Amino acid sequence: MARDTTIKIVRPLQKGQITIPIAIRRALNITESSLLEIALRDDKIVISKLGVEQGQAFRVYSDEEIAEFLAEDKIAPETAQRVRELMGAGLV
């Protein structure tokens, strides 16, 4: 099945975040619960949708790695607790 090539121009925000345009999210069924892999290949950034159904294993983070991640990212305490739970269980 041939897929139309969709090209969009985006601008990174101050902290490097980008928005994936809706047409691309819809085409790949990317939702807020989707996991994406980002890779640097030569001089290109490649973003791929991940899925447990594809047999991809997720990394289990140590308590120290989780604490470092949360210290670098200023998030609400409730969100930090949920991140600890998910990362500690290897679900993200």
This prediction has a pTM of 0.50
Please tell me which residue, 54 or 31, carries the higher pLDDT value. Answer: 31
Top-confidence residue, 68 or 91: 68
Do 37 and 65 fall into the same domain? no
Q: Could you give the number of structural domains in the chain?
A: 2
Same domain, 17 and 48: yes
Cα 27 to Cα 67, 78, 88, distances in angstroms: 35, 33, 32
Together in a domain, 49 and 79 = no
Tell me which residue range forms the domain holding 51.
1-55
Per-residue model confidence (pLDDT) at position 57: 58
pLDDT tens digits, 55-66: 555 677 888 888
Residues 39 and 83 in one domain: no
Separation in Å, CA 78 to CA 10, 29, 82: 31, 28, 6
Q: Does residue 47 sit in the same domain as residue 72?
A: no
